[in-house]
Chains A and B, each alone.
Chain A
Amino acid sequence: MYSPQIILEAALNGLMTGAVYALIALGLTLIYGVLHIINFAHGALLTCAMFAVWVAWAWLGLDPYLVIVPLVPLMFVLGYGLQRFVIGPASHGDDGNILLVTLGLSIVLENVLLAVFQSDTRTLDTDYSFQVVALGPLLLSYPRVIGLGVAVVVTGLLWLVLNRTDTGKAIRAVAKEKLGANLVGIDVPHVYAVTFGLGCACLAVAAALLMPTFYVNPRIGGAFVLVAFTVVVLGGMGSLPGALLGGLFIGVVESLCGLLLGDSLGQIGIFLIFIAVLLVRPTGLFGAKA
C-alpha cells in the first residue's frame, strides 16, 4: 500500500492540476450557461493560446506569466470575432448546427497549428519550472501553487464581472430570457460574442498557467476538452462555482487514479464519472433543473 504522505501529496497535486481544469471549464460553462451551446472548439482554442505563450517565450523571451497581459485581450477579441462572424451566422441558431460548426472550427484550428508548428511536442523552461514550496513535510510544485491561486482569483473576478457590472447584468439577462433581453434593448448577438470572448480569455490565463510545467503540441487540446466537459457536466452546466469545485475534484480523481491504476488508465476515472453523471444526473451537482 501507499503511505498516507504519498496519497496526500498526490491529492494536493491533483487539486492544483484541477485548478487549471477549472479555469478551462469556467470558459466552457460560461459559454454554455449563456449561449446554451457546447463549444467543441474550446480545446483547439486552448491549444492556440498555449502556442501563443510558447511563441512569446521562444521568440520574444517573455515570461509565461507576463504573457497573460497581452494574451487575455487577444483571446477575447478572437473569441468575440469567432462567435460574431463565424459561429453565430453559420449555425442559424440551431443546437445541432452549433455543435457541428464548432467541431469544424476545432478541426481547422488544430490542423492549421499542425501545418505551422508540425507535430513536435514543445516545452519551455523557466527558472521556477522545478521550484518547490515546502508545506510541512509536503513538497509542492511552485508553478502549480501559483496556478491554484490564480484560478481562484479569476473565478472571483469573473463572478464580480457577472454580478456587479452592467455588462454582467446584460449577460445574465440574455442567459435567462433571450427574447425579453432583446425587447428591453440588449444587443443579443453582441452579448453572445462578449460571453464567448470572456470564455476564451479564461483559456489565455489557463494556457499561461499550464505552460511552465506542461508541454504543447497541436493535438493537446483534445486531452483537455473532454476533461473540461466532465468538469462542466459535473458542476452543472452554466454554474461558475460548480466549475471551480468540479475542476478541483476531477483533478484529485485523476491524480489518485493515476497513482493507483498507473498512467495509462489514469484518465479512465474521469470518463466513468462523466458517463455516470450524464446518465444519472445530467443537471450536475450544482446545476439548476433543466
Chain B
Amino acid sequence: MTARDLIPIVVLAVLAALLPLVVTSSPVMNFLVFTLIVALGAQGWNILGGFGGQFSFGHAAFFGTGAYVTAILQLRYGVNAWAGLLVAMAAGAAVAWTIGFLSFRSGLRGSYFALVTLAFAEVFRILANAASFTGGAAGLLIKLDVHPANLQFADRAVFYWLVLAFVTGVLLLTRWIQRSRFGAQLVAVRENEDAAKALGVDSLKVKLRAIALSGAVTALSGCLYAQYFLYIDAHIAYGSWISVELLLAPIIGGVGTVFGPVVGALTLHGLGELAKQFAGRIPGIDLIVFGSVLVLAVAFARGGILGLLERLRDRGRGMMTRGAKEVSHAGR
C-alpha cells in the first residue's frame, strides 16, 4: 500500500469524525450510527461477495452470531463487553468458515451458494427463536449500565466515533486486500475459478479465508448493533432483513470496491429517510425505495454509484482531451 491508497481513507475518516461537533441532534446521530453499523456489516459482505464473487444471501448468520455471542457472554457469564466483542468476531469467523467449508467443498457457487447461505441463516433463526439460552422468542435485553468498560456510552457521539473507527479499520483492511497477493487471488477466483485453479491458486483456501474474514467483520457489526440498541431477538439478529441490507449496500454503492459498501449504505438509508419524510406514515415506504433502487442499479448501473461516477469522470476526461485537441488544431 502507498500513501496514495491511504490518504483518501484517512481524510474521509477525519472529516466524518468532525461531524458530531456540528450535528448534535440525537435522531441524526442515531441515523448515522445505525447506518454505519449496516455499512460495517456490508463491508464484511463485500469481502466475500464483492472481491470473491460469492453472493451470500445469508449474512444474517454471521451478524446474528456476533450479536448473540456478545449478549449471552455478558448476561450469562458476566464477561467484559470488549472481550465479548473479540469472542463474537472469532465466533463469526468460525461459523462462516464452517458454512464455507461445507458449501465450497461441495462445489456450490452462484445461485446455489446464495440459497444454501439463506437456508443456514434460517436454521439459526429458528434455533435462536426456540432455544432457551438465547432467550427464545422474548429475546435478550442487555442491562443498561453506562460505562466505557461495558461498551455503553452516555454520549451518542462516542459510540459514533467507535463505529467510525471500526469502519475506517475495515476500509484500510479492504484496501490492503485489494493490493495484496491474497486479494489478487480472490479476484482471480471471482473472474474465472477454473482458470485461477489452473494457474495454481488454491481456490478453496482463498475462498475460505475470505468467508472467515467476512464473517468476522459482519459479526463485529452485529455485536455493535447489540451494544447500541441493547436488545436483540431472533428476527432482528438472524432475520432475512439484515441479509438483504448487507448485500444491498455494496451492490448499490459499488460491488468489489473499497468505498462501495459505505457509499451504498449512506445512500440507501438517506433515500429511505427522505422517502419517510415525504410519504409520511406509509409503512414500508423506505423498503419500496430500496427495492426499486436495487432493480434500477442492476439495470442501469452495474458498478453501482461508484461505477457510475467513474464512467462520468472518464467521459468528462474524454471530452477534455477532445477539447484540448480541438484547441491545438485551431492554434495551428
**Residues of A bordering B, CB below 8 Å:** 37-38, 86, 89-92, 95-97, 99-101, 103-108, 110-112, 114-115, 118-119, 218, 222, 226, 229-230, 233, 262, 264-265, 267-268, 271-272, 274-275, 278-280, 282
The contact string, 1 if C-beta is below 8 Å from chain A, for chain B 274-305, is 00000000111101101111110011001000
Contact present for A282 and B108 (CB under 8 Å): yes
Q: Tell me the bound Cα distance from A16 to B106 in angstroms.
A: 33
Residues on B facing A (Cβ under 8 Å): 55, 57, 102-103, 106-108, 110-112, 114-116, 118-120, 122-123, 126-127, 129-130, 137, 240, 244, 251, 282-285, 287-288, 290-295, 298-299, 302
A92, A105, A115: the one contacting B295 at CB < 8 Å is A105
* Besides A38-B115, A264-B137, 10 other A-B contacts (C-beta < 8 A): A37-B111, A90-B299, A101-B295, A103-B244, A103-B291, A110-B284, A229-B115, A267-B126, A271-B122, A278-B112
Kindly identify which residue among B251, B285, B294 contacts A111, using a CB–CB cutoff of 8 Å.
B285
B290 to chain A: which residues have CB within 8 Å? 104, 107
Contact pick for A108, options B55, B129, B291, CB 8 Å:
B291
Residues on A with C-beta less than 8 A from B55 are: 96, 99
Contact B298 A112 (CB under 8 A): no
Chain A residues within 8 Å of B298, by CB: 90-91, 97, 100-101, 104
Contact A278 B291 (CB under 8 A): no
B116, A114: Cβ atoms under 8 Å? no
Give the most central of B103, B118, B126, B298: most A CB within 10 Å.
Answer: B298
Given contacts A226-B122, A275-B123, A279-B102, contact A264 B294 (CB under 8 A): no
Among B57, B107, B115, B294, residue most surrounded by chain A Cβ atoms (within 10 Å): B115
Known interface pairs A115-B282, A226-B119, A268-B123; A282-B112 also in contact (CB < 8 Å): yes
How many angstroms from the CA of A34 to the CA of B244 in the assembled complex? Answer: 27
A-B pairs with the 6 shortest C-beta distances? A107-B291, A111-B284, A104-B294, A90-B299, A108-B291, A114-B284
**CB <8 Å contact, B294 and A103:** yes
A95/B110 in contact, CB under 8 A:
yes
- Which residues of the other chain, B, contact A89 by a CB distance below 8 angstroms? 299
What number of residue pairs across chains A and B have CB atoms under 8 A from each other? 125
B46 to chain A, nearest CB (A): 14
The answer on a CB contact under 8 Å between A107 and B110 is: no
Residues of B within 8 Å of A280, CB to CB, are 106
Q: A90-B299, A91-B298, A114-B284 are in contact. Are A108 and B112 (CB under 8 A)?
A: no
Q: From residue B44, how far is it (CB to closest CB) to chain A in Å?
A: 18
Which residues of the other chain, B, contact A265 by a CB distance below 8 angstroms? 126, 130
User: Which one of B57, B102, B110, B295 contacts A90 once the chains associate, using CB atoms below 8 Å?
Assistant: B295
Return the chain A residue nearest B239 by Cβ: A222
Name the residue of chain B whose CB is nearest to the CB of A111: B284
Bound: A131/B103 CA distance, A: 46
Q: Are B126 and A96 in contact (CB under 8 A)?
A: no
Contact, CB under 8 Å: A222 / B240: yes
Chain B CB count within 10 A is highest, among A38, A95, A268, A275, for: A275
* CA of A264 to CA of B123, assembled, Å: 11
Identify B288's interface contact among A97, A100, A111, A272, CB under 8 A: A111
| B110 touching A96, Cβ below 8 Å | yes
> What are 23 A-B pairs at a CB distance below 8 A?
A37-B111, A38-B115, A92-B299, A95-B111, A104-B291, A105-B291, A105-B295, A107-B287, A107-B294, A111-B283, A111-B284, A114-B284, A218-B284, A229-B119, A264-B126, A264-B129, A264-B137, A268-B123, A268-B126, A271-B126, A274-B116, A278-B108, A278-B112
